[in-house]
């Protein structure tokens, strides 16, 4: 079975600095999708960025980018120029190409220090 | 705006009293999901529908049931809520297997 591991329960970063959230996953499949979701306190979970496993190029969305290492099964999220609004729980997630459901990691709570 | 709407936002129910949470979507997505999320934990999938096909997770308690009367609506029924069922319940939709999820705002269930 696929698993997603986020080894950092909490992290803090100074406003305007860069932070990287780690994620590793385990799968025997070659085609799949990876996601980072953001869940602000008491607010809706939203998709931050997604990566198709067949694409070598790392996905980028404005200040958010990923470092996808397929062989190492690693999928880290880099947030540049951190803003107070980035404070949230971040979930790394995996989806098989053959399955309807997404598997989530346990999350990393990110604090932004003013 | 197209979206996923969960009602109510907060629900308080008595121990053992049946409760229903609702989810509606205007996205016309084929797949709808119910997740349970306890404090500071990963969302745990309870079940999902692909169109009318119901898919139950093996470890979802029998106490939890779901209905999807049409594409737009999906309900989560908890027949006899226990204190351990207090959690945030998240509804999500997906267009297909390639796309990510669109989440509702969640319903926070308190059992007293």
Cβ of residue A104 closer than 8 Å to a chain B Cβ: yes
Mutate to test the interface with B, among A42, A99, A101 (most CBs of B within 10 A): A101
* Biggest CA-to-CA distance, chain A: 43
pLDDT digits (tens, 9 = 90+) for B31-53: 999 999 998 788 999 999 999 99
**Chain B residue with the nearest C-alpha to that of A5:** B42
Residue A42 exposure: Cα atoms within 13 Å on the Cβ side = 2
Q: Is the pLDDT of residue A19 over 80?
A: yes
- Tens digits of residue pLDDT in A23-35: 999 999 999 999 9
pLDDT confidence of residue A111:
97
Residues B21, B85: Cα–Cα separation, whole Å: 13
- Phi/psi at B61 (nearest 5 deg)? -60, 150
Q: What is the tens place of the pLDDT at every residue in B51-100? A: 999 999 999 999 999 999 999 999 999 999 999 999 999 999 998 766 78
Q: How confident is the model at residue A43 (pLDDT cuts 50, 70, 90)?
A: confident
Question: Which residues of A are less than 8 Å from B55 in CB distance?
Answer: 100-101
Taking only the tens place, the pLDDT of each residue in A48-107 is: 999 999 998 999 999 999 999 999 999 999 999 999 999 999 999 999 888 878 999 999
Using a CB-CB distance cutoff of 8 angstroms, which residues of chain B are in contact with residue A105? 42
Q: Report in angstroms the alpha-carbon separations of A93 from A29, B1, B20, B32, B62.
A: 15, 26, 28, 17, 26
- CB–CB of A10/A44 below 8 Å? no
Q: What is the pLDDT of residue B99?
A: 76
Distance CA B89, CA B105 (A): 9
Half-sphere exposure at residue B17, Cβ-oriented, CA atoms within 13 angstroms? 9
Can you give the pLDDT at residue A1? 77
Q: CB distance from A3 to chain B under 8 Å?
A: no
Is residue A37 within 8 Å of residue A105, measured between CB atoms? no
CA angle in degrees (0–180, nearest 5) for B91-A34-A75: 130
pLDDT score of A72: 96
Q: What is the DSSP string of A30-68?
A: SSEEEEEEEE-TTS--EEEEEEETT--SPPEETTEEEEE
- A-chain residue closest to B88, CA distance: A42
Q: What is the pLDDT of residue B2?
A: 62
Contact of A99 with chain B, judged by CB distance below 8 Å, is answered with: yes
State the best of B42, B46, B51, B107 to mutate against chain A, taking most chain A CBs within 10 Å.
B42
Write the CA distances from A114 to A17, A80, A83, integer angstroms: 10, 15, 9
pLDDT greater than 80 at residue A110: yes
Q: pLDDT band at residue B14, thresholds of 50, 70 and 90?
A: very high
Report residue A109's pLDDT band, with 50, 70 and 90 as the boundaries: very high
Work out the pLDDT band at B1, boundaries 50, 70, 90: low
């Amino acid at each position: 079975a696929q698993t997603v591991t986020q080894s950092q329960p909490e992290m803090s970063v100074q406003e305007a600095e860069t932070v990287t959230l780690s994620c590793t996953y385990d799968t025997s499949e070659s085609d799949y999708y990876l996601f980072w979701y953001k869940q602000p306190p008491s607010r809706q979970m939203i998709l931050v960025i997604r990566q198709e496993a067949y694409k070598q190029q790392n996905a980028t969305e404005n200040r958010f980018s990923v470092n996808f290492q397929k062989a190492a099964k690693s999928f880290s999220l880099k947030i540049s120029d951190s803003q107070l609004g980035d404070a949230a729980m971040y979930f790394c997630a995996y989806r098989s190409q053959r399955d309807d459901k997404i598997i989530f990691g346990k999350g990393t709570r990110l604090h932004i220090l003013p | 705006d197209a979206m996923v709407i969960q009602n109510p936002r907060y629900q308080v129910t008595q121990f053992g009293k049946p409760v229903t949470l609702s989810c509606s979507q205007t996205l016309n997505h084929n797949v709808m999901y119910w997740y349970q999320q306890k404090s500071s934990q990963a969302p745990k999938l309870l079940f999902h529908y692909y169109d009318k096909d119901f898919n139950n997770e093996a470890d979802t308690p029998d106490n939890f049931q779901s209905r999807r009367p049409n594409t737009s609506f999906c309900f989560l029924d908890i027949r006899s809520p226990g204190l351990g069922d207090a959690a945030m319940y998240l509804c999500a939709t997906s267009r297909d297997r390639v796309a990510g999820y669109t989440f509702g705002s969640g319903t926070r269930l308190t059992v007293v």
